[in-house]
Amino acid sequence: MAATLQGKRIAFLAADGVEEVEYTRPRAAVEDAGARVELVSSRPGSIRSFNHLDQSTQYQVDVTTKQADASAYDALVLPGGVANPDFLRTDPEAVRFVKSFFDAGKPVGVICHGPWTLVEADVVRGRRITSWPSLRTDLTNAGAAWVDEPVVTDNGLVSSRKPDDLPAFCSKIVEEFAEGKHSAR
């Protein structure tokens, strides 16, 4: 992959329970494209990833949601896992952080269960989005147009359903992040 993200700074927002492959593969994709990545989470220290329901690797947090400022980043990625977004959507600072990317028109990538945090931030209304199928009702009730496709792009928001879709998701986030800001809604 060409260094299309050279000089870009990308935030990955995650908590305990993040699906490991949904964190590591997109992170590798944007780093391979030249971006600098920081892991943002609700608390300092480390977070524990999972491979489905099995505990896996711990990852060191770079900055907390309380300290994080979206203006310091060019784009945001919200990996999935069931517990991860459930923790994040109950953290007002995480919700504020996510919303500020949308307010600024900055690109955001989200996969699997990650859109739960977008619902809490009230940023899916009127957008076309995909996710893990069990989020369909939540997203529809929040005003989104949910579709069952491997990857969906809507004005800088890139969404994807599951780990099987990671090749398409990773390619699309690199493309959207390289484009930069989109018109804020």
Q: Is 170 a catalytic residue?
A: no
Q: How many residues does the chain have?
A: 185
Provide φ and ψ at 37, rounded to 5°.
-115, 140
Q: Is 113 a catalytic residue?
A: yes
Which CA distances in Å does 99 have to 78, 118, 146?
12, 8, 20
Are residues 79 and 99 in contact, defined by beta-carbon separation less than 8 angstroms? no
Catalytic residue among 52, 112, 170, 182: 112
Catalytic residue among 52, 113, 170, 182: 113
Provide φ and ψ at 35, rounded to 5°.
-80, 155
Q: Could you give the residue numbers annotated as active site?
A: 112-113
